Structure 1
């Protein structure tokens, strides 16, 4: 079986699980208070920010810092737990399938789930921006191009974070430990974002993208995101995490 076939088989497995509903429930919880408190966006905390941009950026800050990483952590654990039922992983490893390919296939499913949630977040933004605009009698809709750009960049920047959380779920077979450690990395991401070595800490990346755009819209319209040393470090971390995860995947079951 090739990687595409394995990935398709893994996608079929999640249709019988609660993973997909869990991606949408946090988004509803996020947007309801944002709409109720939409009038707060009329008075931006930084000069130069329009109400529409303020509503957009503030909403995506909460998503990038907490909702998105937490959802990825939960998804990694649930994807791993799917194979623990009825010794599913043992049965898969008994087949003529490369454990490394199976690990990559599961990681691609995680990436797909993250893409679905990011797309749902973007779609809900346009819907909720219209509702909030009617609620406060003011235009709270940001430019479509900017919204799509920030959303796409946020998703791409989260790939190293996904590889790190996937490695943690593979190496830490106890779900409580994996979730606990993942949540701990989320809390410290804001602190490390303000240090000079933030680019070595993947959980910082999505929040960095959103906050950088916030600063660009307010104090420095000509500012750009520094790609060096960020991109080389992110690529190296992603490859290293996936390599170790592939080598460790199913190690305990193969003994």
Structure 2
């Protein structure tokens, strides 16, 4: 059984779960107040930014700070619990496949769910920005050449964070512990982006991308994304977390 077959099997499993619903409901909760309070975007907090770009950034800022990491944490726990229910993980490990392959297939599903929510977030933005434009009488819709690259940047910057949360869910066998620890990592993210070692804290990556983009759209030429040492650090964290999750996946279950 190869990784492609395993990944396909994992997608069939989530069709019977509530994961897709859990990805959508938080976005609805996010966008309702954004549309209702859309008139506030006509008064940007940073001079030089247009109302449309302000509406875009403020919406994504709330998304990357709380909803995106929280959704990833919930999905990791649910993916793990789907196997641990009725000792399903033991049945999977009894198949002629390597545990690392099963871990990678589940992680691929997690990445797909993260990409799906980012796409849903972008779709909600395009819809709600038009509704808000009619509601406020101001143009609050940024061009696609601004919105789409921003959404892609958010997804790519979330890859190390996703690998980190998957590793925690694999190593910490108790779902409550992995969820609490994951949620606890969200709190300091706003603080870390203002330190010199922000690139060592993957949870703050998406928030860093948004804040830097905010300055760029406001015309601040000093605001730029420092690719060094960020990219090497992010790649190292991503690979390390993925290797550890492959190494420890199913380790505890095998002992029993």
TM-score, normalised to structure 2's length? 0.98
Aligned residue for 1:96?
96
The answer for unaligned runs of 5 or more in structure 1 is: none
Alpha-carbon shift at residue 222 of structure 1 (Å): 6.8
Aligned residue for 1:251?
251
Alpha-carbon shift at residue 182 of structure 1 (Å): 0.6
Alpha-carbon shift at residue 224 of structure 1 (Å): 2.8
Partners of 1:223 and 1:170 in 2: CA distance: 37
1:53-202 equivalent positions in 2, closer than 5 A:
53-202=53-202
1:50 pairs with 2:56? no
Partners of 2:115 and 2:240 in 1: CA distance: 22
User: Residues 203-235 of structure 1, C-alpha deviation per residue, up to 9 Å, x if partnerless?
Assistant: 010001111100111141474311110000000
Name the SS of the counterpart of 2:115 in structure 1. Answer: helix
CA RMSD in angstroms, aligned pairs only: 0.8
User: Residues 91-139 of structure 1, C-alpha deviation per residue, up to 9 Å, x if partnerless?
Assistant: 0001101100000000000000000000000001000000000000110
User: Residues 131-171 of structure 1, C-alpha deviation per residue, up to 9 Å, x if partnerless?
Assistant: 00000011000121110001001000100000000000001
User: Alignment length, in residue pairs?
Assistant: 255
Aligned residue for 1:232?
232
User: Residues 159-217 of structure 1, C-alpha deviation per residue, up to 9 Å, x if partnerless?
Assistant: 00000000000011111111111111001111111110000110010001111100111
The answer for unaligned runs of 5 or more in structure 2 is: none
TM-score, normalised to structure 1's length? 0.98
1:31-50 equivalent positions in 2, closer than 5 A:
31-50=31-50
Partners of 1:201 and 1:43 in 2: CA distance: 32
Partners of 1:18 and 1:84 in 2: CA distance: 16
1:16 pairs with 2:10? no
Partners of 2:86 and 2:222 in 1: CA distance: 56
Partners of 2:107 and 2:56 in 1: CA distance: 30
Partners of 2:172 and 2:51 in 1: CA distance: 44
Aligned residue for 1:2?
2
Name the SS of the counterpart of 2:148 in structure 1. Answer: helix
Name the SS of the counterpart of 2:228 in structure 1. Answer: coil
Partners of 1:189 and 1:172 in 2: CA distance: 22
Name the SS of the counterpart of 1:220 in structure 2. Answer: coil
